[in-house]
Amino acid sequence: MAGENVAVTVADVCGINPPSGISGSLTKVRKVKVLAVRQQLAEGKYDLSERFSIALDRLLEDITEDNLRDQSPK
């Protein structure tokens, strides 16, 4: 994987197309990040369970905040 030239787009990573104003620089940044994660995975240095736990905690916080905001008197 190291040194592999892979074309990765925002659509590949996120499953969506970027807004028309987004330049190719975002695609390059994502490509670099995806390749770095792939390398860490190959080396066994990317802790998926820890990252999943953090992402899940953040999601639950967002949902809780949204629910509290929706239930507050207006």
Write the CB contacts of 9 (distance below 8 Å, at least 6 apart in sequence). Answer: 27, 30
pLDDT given at position 28: 80
**Mean pLDDT by groups of 10 residues along the chain of 74 residues:** 54 58 70 90 89 93 85 72
pTM, to two decimals: 0.42
Q: Cβ(6)–Cβ(35) under 8 Å?
A: yes
Q: Residue 29 has which token pair?
A: 């940044």
Q: Cβ(9)–Cβ(16) under 8 Å?
A: no
> How far apart, in whole angstroms, are the C-alpha atoms of residue 63 and residue 58?
9
- The domain locations on the chain are 10-71
